[in-house]
């Protein structure tokens, strides 16, 4: 059994050690492809792999076609918009994710950004505090729930929107449910986005929502850049000098946006939300275990291409 870990953005070494242990103790062989610079390297490496563990690495129809022995792909993380599920299903490849394993790391980044932006990037001017401010969480999944938990420590007033989550789950977490996206943006000074990138959510957050935020509004996006309508974001930032935007991974027009709006915007250079040793260990080892369970027993609990 050959298990390929292909990560353009590598896991922490300690996570790889743990994954190696799980894989080798099961009698499988681990092949490591890290920081690869071209798709061809990935195409060559998957040629003999039965299992593939990835992060945000793109697994499209071409990669799947180059992997005739492949049975399972595990995305060590939550979002699987980087995997062509239809092509995988057509080839009989099981695709899984590791939900929840890196969610605390992403939630902590939200607050790192919230404090930094509220303090004007620590540029010497007077900022604002998070205490008693309103926070709206867009999607109350694993990351959203961690954000709500941490927000309690900051004494923020938290509400959330999630059509898939019953109100009582939010209420039990001390969160006020809201039932429309318009309400979420209109009522909250800080909004934190945690929706997946799907055909329905792509470019779904644009001018109308962003420009409706209260005075001094801060939008934090640690989800996917694709959910933002960049034109609308730029227009809202242009018209409202009090608005700010921070994102984990730069938008397409990052340089232009940074140039125009300076300290009112912040972007990580690479997706950093899950880039902690703890998250790497949690998600990486979960992925290794899932691969081995699938190969040895056919276990499919976290399958996403039903």
**What would the DSSP string read from start to end of 42-84?**
HHHHGGG-SEEEESS--B-HHHHHT-TT--EEEESSS--TTB-
Can you say whether the dihedral through the CA atoms of 285, 286, 291, 293 is positive or negative? Answer: positive
Quick one: 133 or 289, whose CB is closer to ligand 3PG? 289
Helix, strand or coil, per DSSP, at residue 147: helix
Smallest gap from Cβ 146 to ligand 3PG, in A, equals 13
Smallest gap from Cβ 104 to ligand 3PG, in A, equals 12
Among the listed residues 2, 55, 194, 289, the single contact to ligand 3PG using CB under 6 A: 55
CA angle at residue 190 from 235 to 219, to 5 degrees?
A: 35
Look up tokens 């080798």; give the residue: 24
Listed in sequence order, the residues at least 6 apart from 168 whose beta carbon sits closer than 8 Å to its beta carbon are none
Determine, following the binding rule CB under 6 A, whether residue 102 of this chain makes contact with ligand 3PG: yes
Cβ count near 184 (within 10 Å): 21
Cβ count near 145 (within 10 Å): 23
Quick one: 195 or 236, whose CB is closer to ligand 3PG? 195
Quick one: 193 or 213, whose CB is closer to ligand 3PG? 193
Q: Are 291 and 51 in contact (CB under 8 A)?
A: yes
Determine, following the binding rule CB under 6 A, whether residue 284 of this chain makes contact with ligand 3PG: no
* Contact window for ligand 3PG (CB under 6 A) among 77-85, 110-118, 151-159, 198-206: 77-85
Quick one: 271 or 289, whose CB is closer to ligand 3PG? 271
Binding pattern for the stretch 7-26 against ligand 3PG, x by CB under 6 A and - elsewhere: --x-----------------
Q: Point out which residues bind ligand 3PG (CB under 6 A).
A: 9, 55-56, 77-79, 102, 271, 273-275
């Amino acid at each position: 059994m050959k298990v390929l870990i292909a990560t353009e953005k590598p896991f922490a070494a300690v996570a790889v050690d743990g994954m190696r242990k799980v894989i080798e103790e099961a009698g499988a062989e681990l092949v490591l492809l890290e920081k690869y610079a071209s798709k061809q390297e990935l195409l060559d490496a998957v040629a003999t792999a039965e299992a593939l563990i990835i992060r945000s690495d793109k697994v499209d129809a071409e990669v799947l076609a180059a992997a005739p022995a492949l049975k399972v792909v595990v995305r060590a993380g939550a979002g699987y918009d980087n995997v062509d599920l239809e092509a995988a299903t057509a080839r009989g490849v099981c695709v899984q994710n590791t939900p929840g394993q890196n969610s605390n790391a992403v939630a902590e980044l939200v607050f790192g950004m919230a404090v930094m932006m509220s303090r004007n990037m620590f540029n010497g001017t007077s900022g604002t505090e998070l205490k008693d401010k309103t926070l709206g969480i867009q999607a109350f999944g694993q990351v959203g729930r961690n954000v709500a938990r941490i927000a309690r420590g900051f004494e923020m007033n938290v509400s959330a929107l999630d059509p898939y989550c019953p109100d009582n789950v939010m209420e039990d977490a001390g969160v006020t449910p809201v039932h429309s996206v318009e309400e979420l943006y209109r009522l909250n000074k800080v909004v934190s986005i945690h929706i997946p990138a799907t055909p329905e959510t792509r470019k779904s957050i644009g001018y109308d929502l962003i420009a409706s935020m209260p005075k001094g509004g801060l939008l934090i996006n640690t989800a996917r850049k694709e959910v933002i309508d960049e034109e609308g974001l730029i227009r809202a930032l242009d018209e409202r000098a009090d608005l700010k935007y921070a994102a984990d991974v730069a938008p397409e027009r990052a340089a232009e946006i940074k140039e125009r709006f300076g300290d009112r915007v912040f972007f990580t250079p690479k997706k950093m939300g899950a880039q902690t040793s703890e998250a790497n260990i949690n998600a990486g080892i979960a992925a290794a275990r899932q691969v081995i369970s699938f190969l040895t027993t056919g276990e499919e609990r976290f399958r996403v291409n039903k």
